[in-house]
Amino acid sequence: MTNPEWINRFLQYLRIEKGVAENTVESYRHDLTMYCEHLGRLDVLQVQPTDVSRFLKFLYGRKLKPRSATRAFAAVRGLHKFLIIEGATSENPTSTVEQPRWWKPLPNVLVLEEVDRLLAAPDLATARGLRDRAMLEVLYATGLRVSELAGLDLDAVDRQARVVRVLGKGGKERMVPYGAPAARALDAYLDRRATARGAVFVNRRGGRLSVRSIHTIVRRAARAAGVTRRVSPHTLRHTFATHLLDRGADLRVIQELLGHSRLSTTQRYTHVSMAQLLKTYEAAHPRAAGSASPRQ
């Protein structure tokens, strides 16, 4: 089977078996066609890690936007995993190739004053406001993924111990604590609920809030709080991790709380903290770049 034939087969697999959106499939087609052209006569089944690295350098040379470059790497990695699923090979040349750090954009993080305004935005005189406040508090207090929050059930919340049991990626379970402000907001919301079973966060009909609805609620609160930049549930996850790191939390503790399988994923937050450190230094130090007084 030729390289283009393998690519078509992989894209059909994504479309039919994985239900991947058509626009994503077409984007992958573009990326993998570029990969195929870069490989030339080299059979995709014979690709080595050095070949993948050369392709990454090729992409870097084209000065792609970080999102486009990351997607291209994901497409290549997905193709080689598919070849293993199909039994065409037992080797994945992308498994030892790490995505370059310069393709990983720094997370969008809120400052504490913005967090305070965001959490205070819901109207606590309404049932919806109590729910939204509790949801925002839990997101910031735990750093849960939006899918984890949407899937959170009442029996997974220990209100006395202030801990939630989360089922993360790959079915990995972890326990995440939350603080007193989140506990107060969650208690105020749950004490008005008529049932002690089912989903924690529900809509007006009592059904589980969808991931999309949670995104909408977070955006609505951000607008009400006057936060002009884009805010999503993932923003609160990034903010949770960065604020912990800024206040001295161990990186491995943050890794466990976030449910990251690799420490390298968590280490991206050290770059955020360093950026904030440099910004503060340059603003405050009298002899920082651009602020030094003239010699006497």
Verify whether residue 269 is a known catalytic residue.
yes
The catalytic residue among 9, 117, 208, 234 is 234
Between CA 23 and CA 13 the distance in angstroms is 15
The catalytic residue among 140, 178, 189, 269 is 269
Which residues 6+ apart lie within 8 Å of 94 measured at CB? Answer: 49, 52, 73, 76, 77, 80, 81
List the structure tokens of 296: 């006497």
Which residues 6+ apart lie within 8 Å of 183 measured at CB? Answer: 159, 162
The catalytic residue among 80, 131, 243, 260 is 260
The catalytic residue among 145, 178, 238, 243 is 145
The catalytic residue among 71, 131, 237, 243 is 237
Verify whether residue 145 is a known catalytic residue.
yes
Could you give the dihedral angle defined by the CA atoms of residues 59, 65, 71 and 77, in that order, rounded to the nearest 10 degrees? Answer: 30
List the structure tokens of 40: 């030339």
Cβ contact 109:191 at 8 Å: no
SS3 of residue 226 by DSSP: coil
Verify whether residue 260 is a known catalytic residue.
yes
List the structure tokens of 22: 């058509």
- For the stretch 157-165, contacts whose Cβ atoms lie closer than 8 Å and that sit 24 or more positions apart, written own/partner, are 157/186, 157/200, 159/183, 159/186, 159/187, 159/190, 164/138
Distances in whole angstroms, Cα of residue 178 to Cα of each of 68, 122, 159: 36, 20, 10
β-pair type (163-167, 157-158): antiparallel
The catalytic residue among 67, 101, 169, 184 is 169
Question: Helix crossing, 3-16 with 66-85: angle to 10°?
Answer: 90
Verify whether residue 30 is a known catalytic residue.
no
Distances in whole angstroms, Cα of residue 292 to Cα of each of 146, 274, 277, 280: 45, 21, 18, 15
The catalytic residue positions are 145, 169, 234, 237, 260, 269
